[in-house]
Amino acid sequence: MLPNTSICRLVTLSLLAFAPSAFATNAKVLIYSATEDFRHDSIPTAIQALQSKGPSFDIQFETTEDKAQFTDQYLARYDALLFLDNTGEVLDDLGKAALQKYLDLGGNFIGIHAASDCLRNTTFYGHEVGAFFDYHPALQNALQTVDVIDSCHPSTSMLPAQWHVQDEMYNFKSDPRTIGATIILSANESSYIDTGTRLNQGTPHPTAWFQERGAGAESNGTAGRSFYTSLGHLNETWQDELFLAHVFGGITWTLQSNTTLAFNTSAEVGNPSVSVDPTSNSSSTTGTSTSSSSAVISVPPIDVLPLKFMVLSIIAATFFPWLSSFYLGRFVLTAYF
């Protein structure tokens, strides 16, 4: 019998096989990296890493640090907003109102590292990110241990049960579970020194989490998904393939909320109009932005049906050996005939 982690990885693969094909549409994500207080020098490295890997996941990333871009019309173009290492009051009242409306219309949210340390007096933002940053102990030379609490989530299915990292171990002002978040990573407090006074952030120590329905949306709104990871402090972290797999697992899971135009033609926000020409190295969109940089992608059409049967064959062979020959035959017929 397979261990639970292996089972979760097989289940994750099977779900991805039947999820909307990554090659069938082009999701559009806005990276917002404005800062008013401390600024991480890893922000450019993070943006470069996200944009360079975006095409592999059929995601088009655009970037801005201009708070004036937070208008209803501008935000409505995106399937998700990714807040990256923001600190301080990075939006004015008009921008906050536009962000609230975007979330109410089904927009998705991704927060990374210091994204929990901005807009500290804006309640709906705190609910959407999950919890506000409180403090962290000094960055330590030795590796710290992060425990995987939920190995079935796409952002954790590739991680070892105890993940050894060098990063800041954030503490939070509240427990994300109180607003409905599910914790997937936890800082192992025995692996580092922290002499500070911790607030009621709950147990196990929250380090990364997700919300199926982002709590920042108003009760009469259409809530999209929310994902947050507190890791990502160092430049070296953004050059680590395992960390990037964790981040992109969270991003792709968030985009599959089915509340934006990338996957739902009746949605009210998102990217409805990216056309991909397999013979070209560019993609065309309706509307342009003069204040954003973008990773332009071109992905040839791929038939994912063989992949589905291959995944099913693996699962069938593991749990139902008598079915394996059936699925394997279907896979061979589909792939080669």
Please give the residue that has the higher pLDDT: either 15 or 9.
Answer: 9
pLDDT-above-90 percentage for the chain: 71
Least confident of 8-12, 15-19, 66-70, 260-264: 15-19
- With 70 as the cut, is the pLDDT of residue 153 above it? yes
| Other beta carbons less than 10 A from residue 7's beta carbon | 16
Given pLDDT bands bounded at 50, 70 and 90, which one contains residue 26? confident
The pLDDT mean for the chain works out to 82
Cα three-residue angle 9-15-20, rounded to 5 degrees = 140
Residues 270 and 262: beta-carbon distance below 8 Å: yes
Residues 188 and 164: beta-carbon distance below 8 Å: no
Given pLDDT bands bounded at 50, 70 and 90, which one contains residue 23? very low
Instruction: Give the mean model confidence (pLDDT) for residues 95-108.
Output: 98
Instruction: Give the mean model confidence (pLDDT) for residues 176-183.
Output: 98
Instruction: Give the mean model confidence (pLDDT) for residues 118-138.
Output: 98
Beta strand pairing call for 162-165 and 144-148:
antiparallel
Please give the residue that has the higher pLDDT: either 333 or 115.
Answer: 115
**Rounded to whole angstroms, how far apart are CA atoms 204 and 256?**
27
Q: What share of the chain is helix, strand, coil (3-state, %, to 5)?
A: 35, 20, 45
Given pLDDT bands bounded at 50, 70 and 90, which one contains residue 143? very high
Confidence at residue 243, expressed as pLDDT on a 0 to 100 scale: 98
Where would I find the beta strands (DSSP E) of 113-240? 117-118, 133-135, 144-148, 162-165, 171-172, 182-187, 206-211, 226-229
The CB-side HSE value for 81 (13 A sphere, CA atoms) comes to 33
**Rounded to whole angstroms, how far apart are CA atoms 307 and 278?**
21
Residue the block writes with tokens 């929250």? 206
Given pLDDT bands bounded at 50, 70 and 90, which one contains residue 313? very low
Given pLDDT bands bounded at 50, 70 and 90, which one contains residue 44? very high
**Rounded to whole angstroms, how far apart are CA atoms 296 and 60?**
6
* Residues paired with 117 in a beta bridge: 87
Write out pLDDT tens, residues 229-253.
Answer: 999 999 999 999 999 999 999 999 9
Its pTM surpasses 0.85: no
